[in-house]
Amino acid sequence: MNFEGTAVAMITPFTSDDEIDEEGYRSNINFLIENGVDGLLAAGTTGESATITHKEQRQLIEILVDEVDGKVATIAGAGSNSTKEALDLVQFAENTGADFALVITPYYNKPQPHGLIKHYTTINDNSDIPIIIYNVPSRTGTDIDTETIATLAKMNNIVAIKEANPDLDKVSKTQKALINAGLEDKFSILSGNDDLTVPMISLGAKGVISVVANVDPLKMSQMVNNALDGSYEKAMDLHYELYDLMKVLFIESNPVPAKEALTILNRAAGHVRLPLAPLKDENSVKLKEILKGLELL
C-alpha cells in the first residue's frame, strides 16, 4: 500500500479550556474530505505534536480513524526521539486502524546513519502498518541521507518519505537511487514543503503532506492532481495562485499562521500552546489580505 496525492497535516483545534476540540476536529476532517483531499494526518508537527500529550495523540488518531471511516487515507503521527516510544505509538496506530504511520527522524539526540537504520528496522520488524519516514532537518537537527533512504526503502513496511529538506538536488539523487534499485514503484517521495510540491512531482515525487491544504484544500488538491497528471501549465497556474499563501503560512512558526487563518475563516482552531504565541498583529493583517485575494474570506 502506498500514498499518492494530497494529504493534510492537520492542525489540532483546542477549546478555551485547552482541551482537544473534538467536535471542531471532526468538522475540519469532513470539510477537508469534502474539498477533495486524499489523506489526513493527525498529530504531526502542524498538529502541535511537541506540546500534546501521548494520551491526546492517541485520542486524535482514534478520532481521525473513526470520523474518516475509510473515505480517505488516514496517517497517524507516531514518531519520537526514543525508538521504544515511537514503536509503541506506531503499534497503537496500527491497532487503531490507521492506514499509515508517519515516523519522524529522531530529534535532539542526532542519531548517526547506522543508528537511524536500527531505529527504523526495529519499527519495521515489530509492526505491519505502512510507514512514512519524515525528514525535516530544520526541526530535528538530523538530515537523513540518500544512501540511508535507499537502504530503508528496501524494508517491507517502509513505503515513503515525507521530504522537507528543500534541496531539490537531493530529491533527484533519491529518486535516481530508487530507480537504480528498482524501488520507485514500492517507495515514494512526498513533498514536505508546499512551495516545492510541483517541482518535486516533476522529479518523481507522488504528492505532498501539506500545511496549505488546511486553509485551501480544493486548490491545493487541484494543483497536485494536475501535476501528477502531467498538466504542468495548470499546476503552475495554481502554484502561483497559492504562492503568497504558501509563504505567509510560514511567516511565523508553523502552525501559528495556519491556526490564525482558520480562526479568521470561522473554522475550528483555537489557540496555539506555549511556547508558541499568537500571530503578531501586522502578520495577521497580511494573512487576511491574502485570504481575501484568494476569495476565501
pLDDT, tens digit (0-9, with 9 covering 90-100), for 177-227: 999 999 999 999 999 999 999 999 999 999 999 999 999 999 999 999 999
Structural domains of the chain sorted by starting position, each given as residue range(s) with its CATH number in brackets: 5-229 (3.20.20.70)
At residue 103, what is the residue type?
V
Query: Taking residues 220-241, what's their average pLDDT?
Result: 98
For residue 101, is pLDDT > 90?
yes
The pLDDT confidence band at residue 77, using thresholds 50, 70 and 90, is very high
In DSSP terms, 7 is beta-bridged to 39, 209
Instruction: State residue 140's pLDDT score.
Output: 94
Find the catalytic residue in 25, 120, 162, 206: 162
Active-site annotation holds for 247:
no
- Summarize the confidence of residues 67-71 as an average pLDDT: 98
Q: Is residue 1 very low, low, confident or very high in pLDDT (cuts 50, 70, 90)?
A: confident
pLDDT tens by residue, 255-295: 999 999 999 999 999 999 999 999 999 999 999 999 999 99
Between β-strands 131-135 and 158-163, what pairing exists: parallel, antiparallel or unpaired?
parallel
Q: Which three cell numbers stand for residue 124?
A: 519495521
Instruction: Tell me phi and psi for residue 186, to 5 degrees.
Output: -90, -30
**Any alpha helices (H) in the chain, and if so which ranges?**
22-34, 54-68, 83-96, 113-125, 137-140, 146-153, 168-180, 197-202, 217-228, 232-248, 256-264, 281-293
Percent of the chain with pLDDT over 90: 100
DSSP tag of 195: G
Give me the pLDDT at residue 220, please. Answer: 98
Is 162 a residue of the active site?
Answer: yes
Mean pLDDT of the chain: 97
For 25-62, what is each residue's pLDDT tens digit? Answer: 999 999 999 999 999 999 999 999 999 999 999 999 99
Residues 53 and 67: their CA atoms lie apart, in Å, by 21
CA of 181: how far to CAs of 1, 176, 254, in Å?
A: 19, 9, 36
Reported residue count of the chain is 297
- What confidence tens digit (pLDDT) does each residue in 250-262 have? 999 999 999 999 9
Kindly report the pTM of this predicted structure.
Answer: 0.97
CA distance 218 to 27: 16
Q: What is the mean pLDDT of residues 162-189?
A: 97
Catalytic site residue from 25, 110, 118, 134: 134
- Residue listed under C-alpha cell 511556547: 275
Residue 275 CA, distance from chain mean position: 21
DSSP string, 20-67: B-HHHHHHHHHHHHHTT-SEEEESSTTTTTTTS-HHHHHHHHHHHHHH
